[in-house]
Amino acid sequence: MAANFAEIFEVELQCWCYGLTNIEDRVERRALNEVVKDFAPVFKEAIENLYAFDPIETTRRLLTAARCPELEKEMTFYLLSLLPFPTELNGEQAKILNEIVLKVERLFGGAIQRLQRKWNSSSPARVSAPRKARAHSETSFENLSFPSSLLDIKKL
């Protein structure tokens, strides 16, 4: 399933990159944000299909196409902020989310903390009640292998 989705993810990324190279001058930051936001449903789909895409490589390719390589860290964190909440995922999918976040944590640091803050402060209103209930029964933050010093599971 993950192998199949890798191909889909690749064509999605290729098409966005091609679109970005179409812009003659420098792409504005806000336009780039919107591109990443438009791309976000595919991030969720990738996780649901157990494909741990590389968020750093994804951002790099988009930014290279947009000729804005200096925004790498900012855009990578923006991408992370658009990932689904762990409570929307089952155990296997939460592990994939974990893998994706850890890639950014290893390179930049602070990724886990930022996401943890976001997850603690807001709830995914878009999750329907039955789905949310099911997700809670199947998934817990214990499924994520974030360092326990950063992830205070008991608070959740």
From residue 106, alpha-carbon distances to 29, 59, 98, 156 in Å are 25, 16, 12, 24
- Stretch 21-50 residues interacting with another protein (CB under 8 A): 21-23, 27-28, 30-31, 34-35, 38
Residues in the chain: 156
For 109, which DSSP code?
A: S
State the minimum distance, in angstroms, from the CB of residue 141 to another protein.
32
- 117 or 131, CB closer to another protein? 131
53 binds another protein (CB under 8 A): no
DSSP state, residue 153: G
Asked if 3 is part of the footprint of another protein (rule: CB under 8 A), the reply reads no
Cα gap 153→143, rounded to integer Å: 10
Binding site for another protein (CB under 8 A): 4, 7-8, 11-12, 14-16, 18-23, 27-28, 30-31, 34-35, 38
